[in-house]
A and B are shown apart, each in its own frame.
Chain A
Amino acid sequence: MALYSEKVMEHFRNPRNVGVIEDADGIGEVGNAKCGDIMKMYLKIEDDIIKDVKFETFGCGSAIASSSMATELIKGKPVSEAMKLTNKAVAEALDGLPDYKMHCSVLAEEAIRSALEDYQKRTGKQIK
C-alpha cells in the first residue's frame, strides 16, 4: 500500500522493542480507545540512561510504527534527551506520515514523556 512510506511499513511489520518490562522504573500510557489509539511505554533507567524500553500499542499502522521508532530513538540515550523527543522527530525518522496520521506520532511523544514523568514521580528526581 502506498498509504505509508517503506520505513513506516518496515517498522509496522517488524516493530522493535515490543513487550513489557516487569520491573520498569517508569510507565506511561496515553490515548484512549475512543479515538482508536492507545500506547503504553515501559522504561528501565540506570544512571539517568534509558537502558531498556518496551511498548504495547493498540492502534493503526502508523501508531505501531511510531511507537517502534520512538523506542529506537530513545534507547540508550540520557533521560534528558528522551524528554526532548518530538513527534516531528519520530515522523521524520519514519520518512514522514500522512497528515491525518500525525496524531499517532504525537501519541508516541506523549507516551514517552508520560513514562518519564512517572519515573520522576517515583524517584523524586527532576529531569533537566
Chain B
Amino acid sequence: MIYVDNAATTKMSKTAIHTMTAMMEDTWGNPSSLYSIGQRAKEVLEKARADVASVIGAEPREITFTSGGSEADNQAILTAALLGEKSGKKHIVSSAFEHHAVLHTLNKLEKMGYEITLLDVHENGMIIPSELEAAIREDTCLVTIMTANNEIGTIQPIRELGAICRSRKVLFHTDAVQAVGHIPLNVIEDNIDLLSASAHKFHGPKGVGFLYARKGIRLTNLIEGGAQERGKRAGTENVPGIVSMAEALKEANAGMEKNAEHLVKMRDRLIAGLKEIPHSALNGDAEHRLPGNVNFCFEGIEGESLLLLLDDKGIQASSGSACTSGSLDPSHVLLAIGRVHDVAHGSLRLSIGEDITEADVDYLIKSVKEVVEYLRGFSPIWRDLMAGKKQFIL
C-alpha cells in the first residue's frame, strides 16, 4: 500500500504513540489537582507548552492548546473580530482558497455585520503582497491568510504579508496547519500575531492542536468553563494528546531539513512523470510549494473514479472532484485558481510522506497513467475533445 494522502492526515510516529500510551499509563492525573499525580500531569503539560513554543519561536504563555486546527482558526478569527469591533473596525481580509475552518467562520462574521474581502490567489495559487496592501482599509481589524494551502500546497510569502500588516497596525493570523513541522516558521521573524496548527498533520494524534497568540492579544473563549489554559479554553486538558503532539513536533522539526530534501526530490520526480500525461496540468506554483504536495488536473476524466481505481492498485489519494465531497461543486480551491468545472472534477492530490521511495514514485506514475488512459477510453468528453468537437482546456 502507498499512502499518499498526508495532507488529509498522517500516521502517528512511533515516538508520538509511545508518548501517548506512556502518558495514559503513568501520567493520567488531572493537571488542576494539587496532589502529586495531578501536579506531575501539570508538569508534563507545561513542558509540552514550552517545547511547542520553542519550535515556532514563541513564549510558552503564548501557546493555547486546542482540539485541533479548526478550533484554533475559529478562536483566532473570533478574537481579532471582537477586538476590532471595540474600536469600530469590522473589516477582514482573507483569501479565496482558505480552509473551510476559516471561510465558514468568516461567513458567520459576515452575517454579524462584518465586511470580508477575499484576495485573489491567481492562477498559480499565490497572493500578491501589493494586493494585500491595497485591500487593507482604515477599518480593517484582521488579515488571515494560510501559510500553505492544503490542496495545492502553495506557500505564501508570510513574512512579507505579516510585515505589511504590522506597518498598517492590523492583526495577522495564519492557518499554518499544513506548514508546521514541514517548513521553517518563526512567529517573530515572520511577523505573525496569531497562528493555528494541528498535530495530526505532523505525525501527532488527531483532535489536538494549538493556537499561538502574541503576548497582549486577549483571546476570546469559544468554550466557557474552568480556568484551564489561563481561562481561555475550558475543559480538562488532553494531556496524552498534547504531550504526544509536542514530541511529534520536536521530531518533525529536528528532521525537517532532511525530510524536505528527500520529499522535494520525490515530489519533483512525480511531477515530471505525471506531466507526461497529455492534457494534464500541475495545480499551484511549482516552486513555492510544500515539499510533499503534488496536485494535477487531467482533462476528460472524473476524480472519484480515478481514486477508486487507484485504491484497487493499493494507492490511497484524494481529489477535489464534486463527487468525492457530496456536493455538485468541485473544490473551491481549484475554482479559486481559475480551473473551470470541467477540469476541476478531474483533479488528483498526491501528498507524499517522508518514507516514500523512488520505486513508489515510479509505481505511482505508472498507475496514474494507466488509470487516466483507461478512464479516458470511455469518456464522452474525451471523445469530443479528440474529435475536435470541443476545445482542449489543458
Whose C-beta in chain A lies nearest to the C-beta of B326?
A: A100
Q: Per DSSP, are chain B's interface residues mostly helix, strand or loop, or mixed?
A: helix
**What residues of B have a CB within 8 angstroms of the CB of A9 in the complex?**
308
Contact B300 A58 (CB under 8 A): yes
> Looking at the complex, which one of A18, A35, A38, A64 makes contact with B381 (CB distance below 8 Å)?
A38
Contact A36 B378 (CB under 8 A): no
Contact A56 B311 (CB under 8 A): no
**What residues of B have a CB within 8 angstroms of the CB of A1 in the complex?**
308, 311
Q: Would you list which residues of chain B between 302 and 327 have a CB under 8 Å from chain A?
A: 302-305, 308-309, 311-312, 321-324, 326
Contact A37 B302 (CB under 8 A): yes
Contact A57 B308 (CB under 8 A): no
Q: Per DSSP, are chain A's interface residues mostly helix, strand or loop, or mixed?
A: mixed
* Interface residue A113 (Cβ < 8 Å from any Cβ of B): no
Closest Cβ–Cβ distance, residue A106 to chain B (whole Å): 13
Contacts A59-B302, A60-B302, A64-B305 given; does A33 touch B381 at CB 8 Å: yes
Q: How far is the CA of A19 from the CA of B377 in the complex (A)?
A: 8
**What residues of B have a CB within 8 angstroms of the CB of A101 in the complex?**
323
Closest Cβ–Cβ distance, residue A57 to chain B (whole Å): 7
Contact B308 A56 (CB under 8 A): no
Whose C-beta in chain A lies nearest to the C-beta of B341?
A: A34
Whose C-beta in chain B lies nearest to the C-beta of A57?
A: B378
Whose C-beta in chain B lies nearest to the C-beta of A34?
A: B341
> Looking at the complex, which one of B322, B324, B378, B380 makes contact with A29 (CB distance below 8 Å)?
B380
Number of contact residues on A: which range applies?
A: 20 to 34
Q: How far is the CA of A100 from the CA of B304 in the complex (A)?
A: 14
* Interface residue B242 (Cβ < 8 Å from any Cβ of A): no
Q: Would you list which residues of chain A between 23 and 46 have a CB under 8 Å from chain B?
A: 29, 33-40
Q: How far is the CA of A7 from the CA of B382 in the complex (A)?
A: 27
Contact A19 B378 (CB under 8 A): yes
Contact A36 B380 (CB under 8 A): no
**What residues of B have a CB within 8 angstroms of the CB of A57 in the complex?**
378-380
* Interface residue B330 (Cβ < 8 Å from any Cβ of A): yes
* Interface residue A78 (Cβ < 8 Å from any Cβ of B): no
Task: Encode contact with A along B267-306: 1 for CB under 8 Å, 0 otherwise.
Answer: 0000000000000000000000000000000001111110
**What residues of A have a CB within 8 angstroms of the CB of B382 in the complex?**
58
Task: Encode contact with B along A1-26: 1 for CB under 8 Å, 0 otherwise.
Answer: 10000000100110100111000000
Q: How far is the CA of A101 from the CA of B302 in the complex (A)?
A: 14
* Interface residue A61 (Cβ < 8 Å from any Cβ of B): yes
* Interface residue B169 (Cβ < 8 Å from any Cβ of A): no
Contact B305 A61 (CB under 8 A): yes
Contact B380 A60 (CB under 8 A): no
Closest Cβ–Cβ distance, residue B149 to chain A (whole Å): 22
Closest Cβ–Cβ distance, residue B329 to chain A (whole Å): 9
Q: How far is the CA of A55 from the CA of B383 in the complex (A)?
A: 12
Closest Cβ–Cβ distance, residue A71 to chain B (whole Å): 12
Contact B305 A60 (CB under 8 A): yes
Q: How far is the CA of A58 from the CA of B328 in the complex (A)?
A: 14
Q: How far is the CA of A63 from the CA of B308 in the complex (A)?
A: 13
Q: How far is the CA of A98 from the CA of B152 in the complex (A)?
A: 29
Q: How far is the CA of A101 from the CA of B304 in the complex (A)?
A: 12
**What residues of B have a CB within 8 angstroms of the CB of A34 in the complex?**
328, 341-342
Which of B305, B312, B342 has most A Cβ within 10 Å? B305
Closest Cβ–Cβ distance, residue B383 to chain A (whole Å): 6
Closest Cβ–Cβ distance, residue B374 to chain A (whole Å): 10
Q: How far is the CA of A108 from the CA of B44 in the complex (A)?
A: 59
Q: Would you list which residues of chain B between 332 and 385 have a CB under 8 Å from chain A?
A: 341-342, 345, 378-383
Q: How far is the CA of A18 from the CA of B305 in the complex (A)?
A: 15
**What residues of A have a CB within 8 angstroms of the CB of B301 in the complex?**
58
Closest Cβ–Cβ distance, residue A32 to chain B (whole Å): 8
Contacts A1-B311, A13-B312 given; does A37 touch B380 at CB 8 Å: no
Q: Would you list which residues of chain A between 47 and 92 have a CB under 8 Å from chain B?
A: 55-64
Contact A36 B302 (CB under 8 A): yes
Contact A35 B328 (CB under 8 A): yes
**What residues of A have a CB within 8 angstroms of the CB of B383 in the complex?**
20, 56
Name 5 extra pairs, CB < 8 A, besides A34-B342, A61-B305.
Answer: A12-B308, A38-B379, A38-B381, A58-B382, A60-B302
22 examples of A-B residue contacts, CB within 8 angstroms: A15-B378, A19-B378, A33-B341, A33-B345, A34-B341, A35-B322, A35-B328, A36-B341, A36-B345, A55-B378, A56-B383, A57-B378, A58-B382, A59-B323, A60-B302, A60-B321, A60-B324, A61-B304, A61-B305, A62-B323, A63-B305, A63-B323
